[in-house]
Structure 1
């Protein structure tokens, strides 16, 4: 496991930390000597992860329960974090979920839920760290978006809309905070082998169709941690999928026509 020496003694806050990509990021940050604040809804999983990480890497690890859909709870949780750890060097906005459904079938509850967690929760968390980072003239905000935020496909209209929103917010935030020495990075991975698809695609057909092309959380986490406290605009994985997103920006009609069969594999 490669180490990022810039993280030694720093404090990293990770949302959605109880499993999947968030858990892998936590392990790699701790291996680099960072102290952690782990946020998620499942307190039991958080406490178990915090105990394992603390024992294995000899770092401080604070598990705090937070449901990002409860926006009114977020300010108090971040005040608690600041009181306990004094400062936040890196915020990783990792929490999020998706439901794959055709636009005609998507429920109002799913629309509200995805925007509530993926967009509003992310924005409120970010708002809570900006002033602290500005006071210290340093910090790094990392927003986990998706290739779906660049190239929308059938059955992911609402999920893609949330990730388009995250990218728009991230791009604006990056320009606002550049003068304060604060880095802002968007991470745009393709499909990853996590329990995301247990909810997004209960049939399992999409994951099956991806086969060996699905990303590992270990690889994505490694790229993210390597870039921490560096001025990286974006991290795009895998390369071939990002090339498709770039091509789509240039020739959308062509890509939609040629990729139609593949896009409907969900």
Structure 2
């Protein structure tokens, strides 16, 4: 009997790595996609040795226009069909929109929206034909509110949530389900890369991944891990939109970020 296969983007660390471990533990072969080939190879070796599954690696930068086509060509060459799709890759830009390098925002849109949509578009028909498939799109609690100073990132995550919910409805009864994971601040390197100082305690990535993985296998449509994050989402639905936007902007204001960094440096020097 052939084992089913999971494809995970952003698999070299954080939530993506943890999703790969969970899938391998349950006996799924894994296709690991990320930019860092060395980290992918290290993960492949660990998964194959620990769980006796087959892991495949493909280094790709999903901000590049031809990246998804290259991934699909690789799948064809390896004669692989994908049963579980974890669209986890993503990155954020931060700062005043007018001052951010345009190429960085465009790259963010390509990774968070275009690659996610194209992978889903290209792999979904096979799932429907086979009568089985699970898709997990990783968004964020940011999907539920506007985000000044991270405007593009918040907008991309709103797209992911809306797209996922709509597609889940279209596929009802097909044997294929679509889930959307909306974590809050998570203990990964994501926010460091975006130069964001978090005012909240972050959630361990393995707990976020477990909630997303379990919810996906159950066919749950929207998954918000953590009681505080669920409370934040509930509050966002009831606050006036302008007030919600202003509150989010105050938290993410670059001036506040700089002040917090300075105060932290002073604290360490005393």
TM-score range, shorter chain: 0.7 to 0.9
Correspondence 1:83-232 to 2 at 5 A: 83-201=77-195, 206-207=197-198, 209-210=199-200, 213-232=201-220
Distance 1:216 1:75 in 2: 33
Structure 1 window deviating more from structure 2 (213-222 vs 68-77): it is 68-77
Preserved CA contact (<8 Å) 2:178 2:216:
no
Q: Which residue of 2 aligns with 1:57?
A: 51
Report SS of the residue matched to 1:237: coil
Mapped to 1, the partners of 2:12 and 2:141 lie a distance apart of: 23
5+ unaligned residues in a row in structure 2: which ranges?
Answer: 258-270
In structure 1, runs of 5+ residues without a counterpart are 1-7
Shift of 1:239: 2.3
Once the two structures are overlaid, the 10-residue window that deviates more, 160-169 or 224-233, is: 224-233
Q: Deviations over 1:55-77 (max 9, x none)?
A: 11111111112221223231342
Following the alignment from structure 1 to structure 2, what is the Cα–Cα distance between the partners of residues 136 and 259? 43
Count of aligned positions: 253
Q: Which residue of 2 aligns with 1:246?
A: 234
Q: Which residue of 1 aligns with 2:224?
A: 236
Which of the residues 4, 19, 37 maps onto 1:10?
Answer: 4
The alignment partner of 2:172 has SS state of helix
CA positional deviation for 1:151: 2.1
Please say which of residues 219-228 and 241-250 is displaced more in the overlay: 241-250
Q: So what's the TM-score if we normalise by structure 2?
A: 0.86
How big is the shift at 1:241? 2.4
The two structures, once aligned, show a CA RMSD in angstroms of: 2.1
Distance 1:140 1:123 in 2: 15
Partner of 1:72: 66
CA contact (8 A) 1:247 1:255 kept: no
More displaced 10-residue stretch of structure 1: 85-94 or 128-137: 85-94
CA distance in 2, matches of 1:140, 1:151: 27
Contact 1:139 1:229 in 2 (8 A): no
